[in-house]
Amino acid sequence: MRALVQRSHHGPRDLTLTTGLGRPAPGPGAYLIRVGAAGVNFADVMQTRGTYGGGPQAPYTAGFEAAGEIVGTGPGVPDPLPIGTRVVGAGPGAFAQYMTMAADDVVPVPSGWSDAQSLGLVLNWATALAALKPLGEIRAGETVLVHAAAGGVGQAAVRLARHYGARVIATASPGKHGTVGALGADAVLDSRRDDLADEIVRVAGGGVDLVLESVGRATFEASLSVARPFTGRVVVFGAASGDAALTTHDLVFSHPVQVKGLHIGAMAAAAPVLYRSVLDELGALVAQGVYPPGTPCVRPLAEGPAVLEELAGGLTQGKLALDPWR
């Protein structure tokens, strides 16, 4: 079996293509998946650096999102899906030709979609929807700020926020403004401008009702500053530029806003009913055509280290994927 193995916590440069590995065996409550396409996420970059909370220790087979075919079932799976069912889900060791996934963590690939097109369903789109609805409590007519809007979660969030009737202000680097604007954002701002907070307030005509914050240190202060006092919500689900601090003094005296944290995997484990409601709504959005098949950029498995370096450097747009058979 071919796989990408992370040898250290020195970043993607120590991610190496390895052959001759044994095929994993599905444990209790798990499926064996023949991976058709593996999703690439910024969390993969953080894991290679050892900065992802609770992440694996090197050496490890990298990746944690994939879609593919069930080719084996471990003991104890209630009402197992048939062998041959194509599913998308999350689990360790996704940058490989075979991996295992907990049965509770998979959903069938939507009818008519390829494996690659389904990537993002349980991570990017689920994160965007959870941030907007159950946590962000989005309402029609509100103004939503989406940071890193050209990324996988960001693009999904822009589409969904517009669907739910919100006005969308997005941030992205200048070379990506056209992509974000085409998704329906009402305004797209340079995320690196020095007066970002002032410009957001100017464009919004005041504060914003909901902020989707995934950048961290570079934008967190601006996010807190532009959210409406007391009624404004800031949902934090990433820190691509590094961690940012928030004190009780900040919340009481400087930024009296509602701050909520989100990790979609943690939601699935700690609040399974809520997570399942998110997946059910995504299914309805697929049926309605609001959530279209994905169009990821799929690269050969051997290019994984380069893909992660490009992602870390802010050089990519949209969903990224690896084909373990190329």
Q: Rounded distance, CA 322 to CA 296, Å? A: 9
Given this model, what pLDDT does residue 85 score? 98
Candidates 87, 94, 49, 51; CA nearest to 69 is 87
Given this model, what pLDDT does residue 80 score? 97
DSSP β-ladder status, 143-146 and 167-172:
parallel
Q: Rounded distance, CA 109 to CA 128, Å? A: 19
- Spell out the CATH class of 124-263: alpha beta
Which amino acid makes up residue 262?
Answer: L
Given this model, what pLDDT does residue 191 score? 92
Given this model, what pLDDT does residue 283 score? 97
Q: Rounded distance, CA 123 to CA 192, Å? A: 26
CATH code 3.90.180.10 region(s) in the chain: 3-120+294-323, 124-263
Cβ neighbors of 25 (< 8 A, separation 6 or more) are: 32, 72, 74, 100
Q: Rounded distance, CA 5 to CA 25, Å? A: 18
The CATH code for residues 3-120+294-323 is 3.90.180.10
Tokens 């120590």, residue located: 14
Cβ atoms of 168 and 104 within 8 Å: the answer is no
For the chain, 326 residues long, give each residue's pLDDT as a single digit of tens.
Answer: 999 999 999 999 999 999 999 999 999 999 999 999 999 999 999 999 999 999 999 999 999 999 999 999 999 999 999 999 999 999 999 999 999 999 999 999 999 999 999 999 999 999 999 999 999 999 999 999 999 999 999 999 999 999 999 999 999 999 999 999 999 999 999 999 999 999 999 999 999 999 999 999 999 999 999 999 999 999 999 999 999 999 999 999 999 999 999 999 999 999 999 999 999 999 999 999 999 999 999 999 999 999 999 999 999 999 999 999 99
Give φ, ψ of 279 to 5 degrees: -65, -40
Given this model, what pLDDT does residue 188 score? 98
